[in-house]
Structure 1
Amino acid sequence: MAEDLLIVKNLKKYYPITGGVFGKEVGVVKAVDDVSFTVKRGETLGLVGESGCGKSTTGRSLMRLIEPTAGEVVFDGTNITSLKPEEMRKMRRDMQIVFQDPFASLNPRHNVEKILEEPLIVHGIGDAAERKQRVSEMLEVVGLSSYHAQRYPHQFSGGQRQRIGIARALMLNPKLIVADEPVSALDVSIQSQVLNLMQDLQKNLSLTYLFIAHDLSVVRHISDRVGVMYLGRIVELTTSEQLYQNPLHPYTKALLSAVPTPDPDAKRERIILQGDLPSPANPPSGCTFHTRCPHVTDECRSVRPQFRDVGSGHFVACHLYNA
């Protein structure tokens, strides 16, 4: 049984809402509201949900690219939420991120060699010749050629740019990579190439992924376990196989019913959710999903459901499954 590389406990990220002449705080946006999960060494945990549910904020908060409001993040045995900036910078050698938009995350004024060298320079690794050698090796690893090192980001296609983003994340031999929607900006044909590349790299370099996406078919392809987020909270978490064969939470069922099927004759009941997504600045009381849930009860409106194991590692936050 693999040990936990990442343990996230009760993570919260609230953004203040200010108003009035003096800019007083009049409320908060609960972007991430009490999220807990673990990622085992060598596995891929998928995090899915519709836009605005807090999945990207979760990924950035646990890396402290944005400071969490509360909670604890234990990475490889170290509680990183209490580290000083210099200690956190050293810790970032082992945890890297691949951003959603490869064009926005690469400096257009730097060529690829300079972009990939930068992590090595920041952490004082190798001399100029060794860094150059490492850049060439890493370009080959992600399916590009060493002559690409002298080109600039605008000279590449979207898929190639994302490969450069992955190469940059790998330069320091990290243990964990947070992949924040790494294929959502790419064509479908390129998506599969980048996903297959990420899986090959995971096997060859013993990587652990937190894979954030909104496309459930992509998550199914790459993830060992999947967590479903809704309005800043995880509502269901289980193995990929179990989630797709036996979803429990009404929100997960609705999401899965919307995934296109390649068989034109396949009959499947489409679950249409009523109402709009509530605002994280004013989330509903009790279960946050109760305003759109077809099985809503009075208990759902007033009591927040516990996120608990209902059997064989299948976690769900729903009053329908209270023992």
Structure 2
Amino acid sequence: MNKLLEVKNLKKYFPIQTGVFHKTQSFVKAVDDVSFDVYEGETLGIVGESGCGKSTTGRSIIRLIEPTNGQVIFQGKNLSELKGHDLQKIRRDLQIVFQDPYASLNPRMTVGTILEEPLKIHGLGSAVERRERVKELLTIVGLTEYHYDRYPHEFSGGQRQRVGIARALITRPKLIVADEPVSALDVSIQSQILNLMKDLQEQFGLTYMFISHDLSVVRHISDRVGVMYLGRMVELAPKHKLYANPKHPYTQALLSAVPHPNPKETRERITLSGDVPSPANPPAGCAFHTRCHACMDICKTERPELKPSSDGHFVACHLY
């Protein structure tokens, strides 16, 4: 498969400012030196606890927030170097589906106006063509032309997320960052939205970067899975390898907490000790060593790099 996106040493630090003059005292290292690739037509799942930096990573990639450092190369172009018209042009190929389907839609605009807006910004089609394109896309995502003139508050949560997906699709992008797209929905609606996203991926040849804290959801939709902890990528592998043989102690602990569908089958639960360290003051060495049951002396001083441990399986751990 061809590489669609290359993320190299991505960092996003938020300054902590104090005093009358807002002097910067330190930084919250939300994303700290993350690297990975995304291939055409695949779904890369990104998982981790709340606050691990997965959403910030997604938003930094498409420059909804400006990264502090690193490179994001999309189809051979370094996004961090693009400005003005060049950046706007490439945004047609990079879209996002937000977590909250209500807060991400303007309550004063009808669905038709919301979906037409990206087409107007990019100068795509006449007024008649835009209207027809919107109505066609509403049907594709499971709504009807009748919904064209309705407002967001008139929809259910699942219907609003379908509108959010339609808005991301309207410019026919190549990559969609899905930031917790089903976490605010009921379980029955979650499955509908996930199946819709898989169908749209086949129909339009989409590539997804799917961000979630739900390991079961990620397993259902992803081809490869990356695990983040405290702003860093600690493991990256094809789905079947990661779930069958997790190598990093943090991944092992996460998977041990997933409920098993067979109540008669028991598994050993790995309980993590202590709290997640602050990203404003991360521990030296491996960020996970303060909670790791397999911690060694080298873990406390030397930061492990994300390296291949087997074919297609990468892990950042001194055990390997």
Distance 1:245 1:32 in 2: 28
What residue ranges of structure 2 are gaps of 5+ in the alignment? none
Tell whether 2:230 aligns with 1:235.
Answer: no
Q: Secondary structure at the match of 1:131?
A: helix
Q: How does 1:128-167 map to 2 (within 5 A)?
A: 128-167=127-166
Q: How does 1:45-64 map to 2 (within 5 A)?
A: 45-64=44-63
TM-score where L is the length of structure 1: 0.98
| Letter aligned with residue 62 of structure 2 | M
Match of 2:66 in 1: 67
Q: How does 1:274-289 map to 2 (within 5 A)?
A: 274-289=273-288
Give how far 1:132 is off.
Answer: 0.7
| Letter aligned with residue 243 of structure 1 | L
TM-score where L is the length of structure 2: 0.99
Q: How does 1:1-323 map to 2 (within 5 A)?
A: 2-321=1-320
Q: Secondary structure at the match of 2:319?
A: helix
Q: Secondary structure at the match of 2:310?
A: coil
| Letter aligned with residue 70 of structure 1 | N
What residue ranges of structure 1 are gaps of 5+ in the alignment? none
Give how far 1:19 is off.
Answer: 1.7
Distance 1:113 1:18 in 2: 42
| Letter aligned with residue 25 of structure 1 | T
Distance 1:264 1:216 in 2: 19
Q: Deviations over 1:86-119 (max 9, x none)?
A: 3211110001000000000000001110010000
Give how far 1:85 is off.
Answer: 3.0
Q: Percent identity?
A: 69
Give how far 1:25 is off.
Answer: 1.0
- After TM superposition, the runs of 4+ consecutive aligned structure 1 residues lying more than 3 A away are none
Distance 2:297 2:122 in 1: 55
Q: Deviations over 1:258-299 (max 9, x none)?
A: 111121111011111000000000000000000000011110
Distance 2:109 2:176 in 1: 23
Q: When the two structures are aligned, how many residues end up with a matched partner?
A: 320
Distance 1:82 1:135 in 2: 32
Q: Secondary structure at the match of 1:228?
A: strand
Distance 2:81 2:11 in 1: 15
Moved more, 94-103 or 21-30: 21-30
Give how far 1:21 is off.
Answer: 3.6
Give how far 1:196 is off.
Answer: 0.2
Give how far 1:20 is off.
Answer: 3.0
Q: Secondary structure at the match of 2:271?
A: coil
What do you get for the CA RMSD once the two structures are aligned? 0.7
